[in-house]
Structure 1
């Protein structure tokens, strides 16, 4: 959940929480954790009740309609029969998208001079000096 936050951002959030809640911060944290525990317990009880009522072992992931139908209503042969007509369309679409992706990469490499320099540097055995960047035209030059 906090994978994209660095330590400075987490520290800033904690400082902000301390400023907002002050002395009540430990109570707010414990109330939040209690709410999360209660929600997990409710979900566990609901899946247990569903498993008991339906007579099968149901996991929380099985409650998605596609997964439920696939697991409880379709056999493997039925599932393969449904997928077979669409598999060819999927394969051709995937190859088309891959081709377009490759074409776009080629166009981007042709447009970007740094990419061409990197490509040339990786193909040569001796490291080539980096080309000097071209001066950028100013607004006055364009007019």
Structure 2
């Protein structure tokens, strides 16, 4: 993370941390995510852990945002329960975020070293699903 193209959205980090602290209980929900929609709303979600590969908080956030009519997320962050702080998205989430929101930014890092990077910086030289879809199918 050499450059920080955008300032850190501390309100977003606080929102995810609050959800992680109050809604993540036990082994089923261990991560919270928060995203800022283009209209300024903050949308939150938690993961649904399951041994079969239940969805990460970032993926639940995508569905939650759509259910609330927010189809463009400008910035997202994930925070772990038990005061684990900001957690970067896994590889699957990076790919899905790139496909859904190629212009989104992600808050990464820890403590006073938080930074905001584009999803493309987290997944360089990536496969872009939309680029490989056939017209009319």
TM value normalised by structure 2: 0.20
Q: Between the two structures, name the one with larger relative contact order (CA 8 Å, sep ≥ 6).
A: 2
TM-score, L = length of structure 1: 0.19
Q: Which has the higher helix share?
A: 1
